[in-house]
Amino acid sequence: GTPVYILAIETSCDETAVSIICDGTEILANVVSSQIETHQRFGGVVPEVASRKHVESITWILQEALDKAKLHPSQLSAVAVTQGPGLVGALLVGMVAAKAFACAWGLPLIGVHHIAGHIYANALVHRLEYPFLSLVVSGGHTELVYVESEGHFRIIGQTRDDAAGEAYDKVARALKLPYPGGPHIDRLALESEEALTLPRAWLEPDSYDFSFSGLKSAVLSAMNSAAMKGQTLSAGAVARGFQDSVVEVLVEKALRAVKAYGAKQLLLAGGVAANKGLRSRLEARCAEAGVPLLAPPLPLCTDNAAMIGAAAFLKFRRGQFASLDLKADPQLKL
């Protein structure tokens, strides 16, 4: 049949991103404009600044994606946009741009859940087999999601406090590393021979939930008590101890859930899926347990619009279009 070209827009946090996907798997354009430098001096994302930056960037990023894909808007099949969750002002910019574009060119609109996007980033490069289990780890989310069939998600465990990426960023901040701290901790942890001994938050024996704020506090109190004795802990030992604790809990709970739910695959998703320590331990444990492990390539782990296009393609095939009064929802449920 005729190829399906989807233009996708993602502006839920601090990346302004537009992508064009052909038939759900071929990436014709994937433009990501990061605001990290703007937010770095504040040590984190400032919502109002993020919205303003999205407004400044969205039009030329849209144009750049069309130029890269060498497509005219009239050749497109649909426009997809992240509906939520995320920062409300940031989401609104993408939503308004998507509606205006869809209206101007008479294209159907598709709303996508940000986490469905992270999960289906895997569909850009892998063949998915249902039911599967997804470990979603990002700056805003830490969830174990059981996906029984296409588009049917069930959250079986989630963080009770900080998201994994949030904990990485907070510990990085304590170590005076730049924002976002995840990649810096990852690098320090891999280079370090020593590891600070830290607790593991297993919670109740049958729970698939997570908790990272106690771990973060344990790191801070170890750093403080060293400082009181006039010592400083090596950043490497702190990073390694912290990463070992986070990774061990994530990996063991994910594998336990895969077995309990009879999942055929384990899909890693979200910005923290770029973590080398997490990937290598998951690979080793999945190989041991005979569980097929899928993960997106690194640039498709952190926020991008290609993943939104991939999830939208599935909705396109099922005819799940939105009306032009689709509302951005900062708390959107999966």
Binding-site annotation, residues for substrate? 136-140, 169, 182, 186, 275
Contact stretch for ligand KG4 (CB under 6 A) within 50-58, 103-111, 248-256, 268-276: 268-276
The footprint of Zn ion on this chain (CB under 5 A) covers a number of residues equal to 2
CB of 74 to ligand KG4, least distance (A): 32
Count Cβ atoms within 10 A of the Cβ of residue 31 and give its class: 0-12 exposed, 13-18 middle, 19 or more buried. buried
Length of the chain: 334
Q: Which does 302 bind (CB under 5 to 8 A by kind): Zn ion, ligand KG4, none?
A: ligand KG4
CB of 323 to ligand KG4, least distance (A): 26
Nearer to Zn ion, 24 or 140 (CB): 140
Instruction: Report in angstroms the alpha-carbon separations of 12 from 27, 41, 204, 218.
Output: 21, 20, 33, 31
Nearer to Zn ion, 157 or 271 (CB): 271
Single out the residue of 13, 78, 93, 257 in contact with ligand KG4 (rule: CB under 6 A). 13
DSSP of 74-100, one letter per residue?
GG--EEEEEEESS-HHHHHHHHHHHHH
What are the b/e assignments for 247-256, b being 16+ CB within 10 Å? bbbbbebbbe
Q: Which does 186 bind (CB under 5 to 8 A by kind): ligand KG4, Zn ion, none?
A: ligand KG4
Interacting positions 161-200 with ligand KG4 (CB under 6 A): 165, 168-169, 180-183, 186
CB of 82 to ligand KG4, least distance (A): 10
CA 195 to chain centre: 27
Report the C-alpha gap between 302 and 168 in whole angstroms: 14
Nearer to ligand KG4, 13 or 198 (CB): 13
Say which amino acid occupies 184: H
Nearer to Zn ion, 85 or 236 (CB): 85
Q: Which does 244 bind (CB under 5 to 8 A by kind): ligand KG4, Zn ion, none?
A: none
Which two tokens mark 334? Answer: 């999966």
Taking a C-beta distance cutoff of 8 angstroms, is the pair 243, 219 a contact? no
User: For residue 4, what is the DSSP state?
Assistant: P
Nearer to Zn ion, 196 or 307 (CB): 307
- Using rule CB under 6 A, residue 139 touches ligand KG4: yes
Nearer to Zn ion, 218 or 274 (CB): 274
- Using rule CB under 6 A, residue 302 touches ligand KG4: yes
Report the C-alpha gap between 83 and 10 in whole angstroms: 9
- Using rule CB under 5 A, residue 192 touches Zn ion: no
Annotated binding residues for Fe cation: 114, 118, 303
Taking a C-beta distance cutoff of 8 angstroms, is the pair 78, 38 a contact? no
Phi/psi for 60 (5° steps) reads -75, -25
Closest by CA to 236, choosing from 244, 228, 247, is 244
- Using rule CB under 5 A, residue 303 touches Zn ion: yes
Nearer to ligand KG4, 134 or 302 (CB): 302
Single out the residue of 39, 303, 309, 313 in contact with ligand KG4 (rule: CB under 6 A). 303
- Using rule CB under 5 A, residue 143 touches Zn ion: no
* Dihedral class, residue 187 (left if φ above 0, else alpha if ψ from -120 to 50, else beta): alpha
CB of 92 to ligand KG4, least distance (A): 17
Three-state SS annotation for 11-52: CCCCEEEEEEEECCCEEEEEEEEECHHHHHCCCCCCHHHHHH
Q: Which does 89 bind (CB under 5 to 8 A by kind): Zn ion, ligand KG4, none?
A: none
Q: Which does 272 bind (CB under 5 to 8 A by kind): Zn ion, ligand KG4, none?
A: ligand KG4
- Which residues in this chain contact Zn ion in the complex, by CB under 5 A? 138, 303
Q: Which residues bind ligand KG4 (CB under 6 A)?
A: 13, 138-140, 165, 168-169, 180-183, 186, 270-272, 274-275, 302-303
